[in-house]
Structure 1
Amino acid sequence: MYKSKLLLLLLSGCICSCLFGQENIRSGAKEQVLSPEVHPDNSVTFRLVAPDATRVFLKGNWTTESSFPDGKIPMVKSNSIWSYTASGLPSDLFLYNVEIDGVLVNDPLNVYQIRDVNRTFNYFITNGERADLYKVQEVPHGTVAKRWYDSPTLGMTRRMTVYTPPGYEEGKEKYPVLYLLHGMGGDEEAWPTLGRAAQILDNMIARGQVKPMIVVMPNGHVSNTAAPGESSKGLYPIGFATPDVGTGKMEESFIDVVRFIEENYRVQAKKSSRAIAGLSMGGSHTLFTSAFLPDYFDYIGLFSAAFRMNDKAQSPVFSDFDHRLTKQKENGYRLYWIGMGKDDFLYETGQQFRKKLEEHGMMYHYHESEGGHTWSNWRTYLTLFLPKLFQ
């Protein structure tokens, strides 16, 4: 009798828990309202259930070029549902929000979100060859781990993201390493989320387009130990820049990142098996780090790279930089790859740095794309850069 009552109580508890866990499910809805709905021709329909709203706008990272003020596209109301259909979009990943009566919010019908600096956005992926690289496909998958490492140079323990290729855990093979760096507004979570780095690696490795490799994505802000909310610093207000930007401290301490990886992972610890690449601020880190450590990297990638970000900063990384470039040339390298958008605000900076490389007789590969300082470009640059590594 006691066992029967206990079983009945447990079952009742499970049922209550299930009901409580589903308390956010809308009841009484006749049919599911979808938003966004990506159609085969890459037109996309957005919907919002807001019967009492008076004005609703859609704002995405592709709408800034529209003729609407501030890139805000008005949605049209029918009964209680607001909607808008964007005509065929390119093959890519897109971010957006909705504005309801002057308040910018996330699409309540879309659970897929990404943080970029101090805001979260809904996202969706369209169809086509480019977008297919950003989707999770039925292919062998690598592992993405968040690792804490000791940085003696900085006197702190810091966090990085590490991608290991499919089969790493089961095998004994040693792999080459790409160190992939984010921009000023990012952290160790930027390339795995906004950059879709793991999906790109998985898919391109499966296609035989890219050699299996380890990819290390450290936090480039040395005044933070980890991404917002992931450290003892707590839930602090997130800013775009930090005091360490342009100080050279990231470059000075980069050897700690390399040593941790080579002591804890099966890697080919040699110059010909190391690559370093970064976007914007990470591009600045890349060009200065590769010159500061001229015996370490055979492959260098600059994606919309900044150059000197703080002219007043005193660091050995910046001193006698021209001599360091000469040393880098003398030591040799296999690839110096530069990508830049025609409309990028750093376009002239890139042009000037290319002239500097030419003055030193340093060979490089240059790729110029449409668009500007965008993740759309940086994801594309990664897909172009990766096949050239470790060949």
Structure 2
Amino acid sequence: MKKFTVLFALLLMCAMTFAQQALWGGAPVVSPEIHDDNTVTFRLKAPKAVKVQLTGDFLPPHTIQTPRGEYDAPGIVDMKEGKDGVWEYTTAEPLNPELYGYSFYVDGLKIMDPGNVYMIRDVATVTNVFIIGGDRADLYKVNKVPHGTVRRMWYNSPTLGMDRRLTVYTPAGYENGKKRYPVFYLLHGAGGDEEAWIALGRTSQILDNLIAQGKAEPMIVVMTNGNGWQDAAPGESPKGFTVPSMSPKERASAPEGGFELSFPEVVKFVEKNFRTLPNKKHRAIAGLSMGGFHSCSISKYYPDMFDYVGLFSGTASRNDKSTCPVYTDFEDKLKIQFAKTPALYFIACGNRDFVFKGVTDFRKLLDDNGCKYEYLETGEGHIWRNWRIYLTEFVPKLFK
């Protein structure tokens, strides 16, 4: 018994030693270091490296060609080796308030910053992140305000033949009251999932801050998984730790228009499990890119479901070859939807976005048919920086 006690004590000490190493080991250098003037220094200790580079969305972008047009990719710069094999780069100019992403290349191999534990996944790409505070970016921070609750939940979709996962934000005070709330359905883009708006879009922080400032009505926000072939985000389903992808084969396995046709199942689940105001004037739907396409399609196919519609860098368009009822009679469905006078139809896009022409064409169609909408045009392209802006502009307009 005594030997067992001694052995157990030794094992416990070893475990504590490893824990202490993880707790107190620390990063080899400070990175990123945000200076008082909002310039930022990045450092990486790599004494055997020949070439170290920094890539980030705060650097001047370079343009790449895609089948869908030009696309702005994050810029890349060389870092300079200093004392003790520490490579360093300081931004030439102060950075504007924003949430930024970056990573390193060491002799061509992409790595994360070991000095920064804060990382976000976007489809299959992981980047380190940091925030420069001030102005709109303060909405992206966790501030000393009342906080809402974020839940991950599962609902059954008979149309898609599976249980599916979604993310739900409820405003501060929801659990302690009996009040009913309007609902905003917020959809992600291609390659995203039910985690995207929470992680990359800073939805819970934005809602907490806008509600606390009195600029937005308290509301429930539902972030679905818009991939009709997928039950949940990679790593969050019975499939295990699968590699995130946008495989055409997987996409083709879902029924055409299945997500749009199944959307009433999401609404039914939410209205059964939460204290909602279950009518058109207390429902909103919006999404980015593919989610904008879904929002346009769902809102015109179910014209009595949503009074507020937002298209962020995305629209629907005619598809005369489709036999899916969601996509047929495109213009007739739009006319029916707008004849019912939605409270708000909001379109936003960057003027360097590869979907900008499609958005322009869609706006002309709306103009030609006398459909009323609000339009916001920003700079830059198909990026989360724009979609966070659009969310902060759209939410205060809801349920007034």
Distance 1:54 1:24 in 2: 29
Q: CA deviation at 1:65?
A: 2.4
* 1:125 maps to 2:131: yes
Measured after TM superposition, the shift of residue 317 of structure 1 is 0.4
Q: In structure 1, what is the Cα distance between the partners aligned to 2:43 and 2:57?
A: 18
- Equivalent positions of 1:47-58 (< 5 A) are 47-58=43-54
Question: 1:390 corresponds to which residue?
Answer: 399
Aligned equivalent of 1:23: 21
The reply to whether residue 298 of structure 1 matches residue 307 of structure 2 is yes
Given that residues 247 and 314 in structure 1 are in contact (C-alpha distance below 8 angstroms), is that contact kept between their aligned partners in structure 2?
no
* Aligned match for 1:44, one of 40, 43, 48: 40
Q: Are 2:280 and 2:305, in contact at CA under 8 Å, matched by a contact in 1?
A: yes
Q: Residue 243 of structure 1 aligns with which residue?
A: 251
**How many angstroms does 1:314 deviate by?**
3.0
What aligned pairs does 1:328-347 form with structure 2 within 5 A after superposition? Answer: 328-347=337-356
The CA deviation at 1:243 is 1.4
Worse-matched range after superposition: 337-346 or 246-255: 246-255
Q: What is aligned with 1:65?
A: 61
Cα pair 2:38 2:94 within 8 Å, conserved: yes
Q: Any residues of structure 2 matched to 1:98-247 within 5 Å, and which? A: 98-240=104-246, 242-244=250-252, 247=256
Partner of 1:74: 78
Shift of 1:17: 2.4
C-alpha separation in 2, matches of 1:311 and 1:75: 52
Number of the residue aligned with 2:368: 359
Structure 1 counterpart of 2:67: none
Taking the aligned partners of 2:74 and 2:392, their CA distance within structure 1 comes to: 31
Query: What 5-or-longer segments of structure 2 have no aligned partner?
Result: 64-72
TM-score between both structures, scaled by the size of structure 2: 0.91
Is the Cα contact below 8 Å between 2:347 and 2:374 reproduced in 1?
yes
Is 1:381 equivalent to 2:390 in the alignment?
Answer: yes
Write out per-residue CA displacement over residues 316-374 of structure 1, whole angstroms, 9 at most, x where no aligned residue: 10111211111112222100011111111111100111111122221000011111111
C-alpha change, 1:53 and 1:84, in structure 2 (3 Å) is same
Contact conserved, 2:156 with 2:162, CA < 8 A, in 1? yes
TM-score by length of 1: 0.93
| Distance of 2:33 and 2:58 partners within structure 1 | 16
Map residues 248-327 of structure 1 onto 2, 5 A cutoff: 248-308=257-317, 312-327=321-336
SS in structure 2 of the partner of residue 149 of structure 1: strand
Secondary structure of the residue that 1:352 maps to in structure 2?
helix
Deviates more, 1:34-43 or 1:266-275: 34-43
Range moving further from structure 2, 299-308 or 179-188: 299-308
What is the alpha-carbon distance in structure 2 between the residues aligned to residue 310 and residue 121 of structure 1? 36
In structure 2, what residue type is equivalent to 1:182?
A: H
Measured on the aligned residues, the alpha-carbon RMSD in Å equals 2.3
CA distance in 2, matches of 1:293, 1:100: 51
| Structure 1 residue aligned with 2:70 | none
**Whole-Å separation in 2 of the counterparts to 1:70 and 1:157:** 37
Q: Mind listing any 5+ residue stretches in structure 1 that lack a counterpart?
A: none
Structure 1 residue matching 2:268: 3-state secondary structure: helix
> How many corresponding residue pairs?
385
Alignment partners' CA distance in 2, 1:64 and 1:247: 39
- Which SS does the other structure have where 2:175 is aligned? coil
**What fraction of aligned residue pairs are identical, expressed as a percent?**
49
Q: Look up the equivalent residue of 1:56 and give its one-letter code.
A: V
Q: Within 2, Cα distance between the matches of 1:312 and 1:190?
A: 31
Selected match of 1:84 from 61, 64, 89: 89
